[in-house]
Amino acid sequence: MQTAIFPSHEAHPAKELFEAGIPVTINSDDPTFFGTTLAHEYAHVHSLGVPDDGILEMIENGFRYAFLPREEIEWYLDGLKQAWDERYLQRRDLRLF
């Protein structure tokens, strides 16, 4: 998002690429240089209309397509799924009251 290839965050095609079934990952290769964080980048993508479960899939893709041994990828994905379920479901339940 920060490379200025697109004139604004709103013009970035992340949502369209995701909806087309193209695996999307969000990264912050140089947060100090670009003045952003990974959390801010995900917030920008969310503001484009990518739903929560789409954000989760993008986070999972970051592990799926990492240059790591398969066992390590699965370990991270399992931990992510557990943490997401605990935090997301708890947050969703709190909204009901």
The pLDDT tens digits of the residues spanning 14-64 come to 999 999 999 999 987 776 666 788 888 899 899 999 999 999 999 999 999
Q: How many CB atoms sit inside 10 A of residue 55's CB?
A: 18
Q: How far apart are CA 39 and CA 23, in angstroms?
A: 19
pLDDT band at 91 (very low <50, low <70, confident <90, very high): confident
**Residues comprising the chain, all counted:** 97
16-27 residue pLDDT tens = 999 999 999 998
Domain boundaries defined on the chain: 9-95
What's the pTM value of the predicted model, to 2 decimals?
A: 0.81
